[in-house]
Amino acid sequence: MTEKVALVTGAARGIGLATAHRFLREGWQVVMLDRDGEELRKVAQGLNAALPIIADVSVPEDVDKSIAEITERFGRLDALVNNAGVADFGPITETSFERWRRIMATNLDGVFLTSQAATPLLAKEGSGAIVNIASISGLRASTLRVAYGTSKAAVIQLTLQQAAELGEIGIRANAVAPGPVRTKLAMAVHTPEIIAAYHDALPLNRYGSEEEISNAIWFLCSDEASYITGQVLAADGGFHGTGVGLPALRG
C-alpha cells in the first residue's frame, strides 16, 4: 500500500473511469471528479479508496473548492490527470462562438485552472506528476475539428509550458494523445463511416480500449517515468506515426 493520491477529472465514465480503476489497483487513493453527479455517485459506490467530488473543471470556484477538499482530506497530491473533455465536431462556418467557447471552457480552461490550483499541493512531496489528455486531433488537423482540434493542440502546448516552468519545483508534465476509443464521447461524433475509415487508417486496424489509454497515463504518472517530462505520448494504434495513402498502398 502507498499513501499516494491521484486526482482524475472526468472520472465518471470512459477513459477517466478506467484510469481511476488503474490507480486504485496500484493501491493509490483516487479523487474522482466529474460534473455528472448521478453517474459519479453510481461508479464510486463501494470503492473504499475513492473520493468522489462533483465539480465542473471550467468553473474556477468549483476547482478551488475541490483542491481545498483534497488538501483537507489528504494533505497531498501526487498525480493530476486532466482528462475531462467534450467533443463537438462541426465545420468552421457553422461553429458559433458559443460552441467554440463551450469546447475551450472544458478542454483548455479546465486544464489550466485545475493544474494551477493543484500546483502547490503537487509540489509538496517534491515529485508530482501532471498528465493532460490531448488527442491525435491536437497532433494532426482534420475536418470538423476547428474547436476540438485547436483545444487539444493548445493542451499540448500548455503541457510543454508546464514542463518548462514546474520542473524546478519537482513537477513533471506530460500529455497522452489517444487515438479513437469507443467511449460515449467518441460514439457521439463517430458515424459508422468514420469508424470504418479509422480502421483503415490505423496500422493496428482497430479502436483502442479505455484500459490501453489508462496504461499510458499510469506509466507517465508512475516513478517509472521519473525522468520524463514535456513529452506527448500518442496511444493511437500508429495513426500519428503514419503518412497519407496507407489504405491505397495496402490494397
Ligand X SMILES: NC(=O)c1ccc[n+]([C@@H]2O[C@H](COP(=O)([O-])OP(=O)(O)OC[C@H]3O[C@@H](n4cnc5c(N)ncnc54)[C@H](O)[C@@H]3O)[C@@H](O)[C@H]2O)c1
Tell me which residue has cell 497519407.
244
Which residue in 200, 202, 208 sits closest to 182, CA to CA?
A: 208
Which C-beta is closer to ligand X: that of 124 or that of 199? 199
Print the binding letters for residues 16-45 with ligand X: x by CB under 6 A, - otherwise. x-----------------xxx---------
Contact set for ligand X, span 103-132 (CB under 6 A): 106, 110
Judged by beta carbon, residue 34 or residue 212, the one nearer ligand X is 34
237 near ligand X (CB under 6 A): no
Alpha-carbon span 107 to 187, nearest angstrom: 18
Min. distance of Cβ 178 from ligand X in angstroms?
4
* 123 contact partners, CB below 8 Å, separation of at least 6: 166, 169, 170, 171
What are the catalytic residues?
A: 148
C-alpha separations of 3 from 26, 110, 115, 170 in Å: 11, 26, 21, 18
- Kindly write out the interface string for residues 154-193 of this chain, putting x where it contacts ligand X by CB under 6 A and - elsewhere: ------------------------x-xx-xxxx-------
Provide the grid cell at 130. 501532471
**The only residue of 19, 83, 150, 162 in contact with ligand X, by rule CB under 6 A:** 83
Stretch that binds ligand X, among 55-63, 90-98, 167-175, 227-235 (CB under 6 A): 55-63
Question: Binding of ligand X at residue 133 (CB under 6 A)?
Answer: yes
Give the separation between CA 194 and CA 165, rounded to whole angstroms: 39
Bridge pairing between strands 5-9 and 128-133: unpaired
The answer to whether residues 115 and 82 touch, using CB atoms and an 8 Å cutoff, is yes
Structure letter (DSSP) for residue 27: T
For position 10 contacting ligand X by CB under 6 A, the verdict is yes
- Which spans of this chain sit near ligand X (rule: CB under 6 A)? 9-10, 12-16, 34-36, 56-58, 83-87, 106, 110, 133, 135, 178, 180-181, 183-186
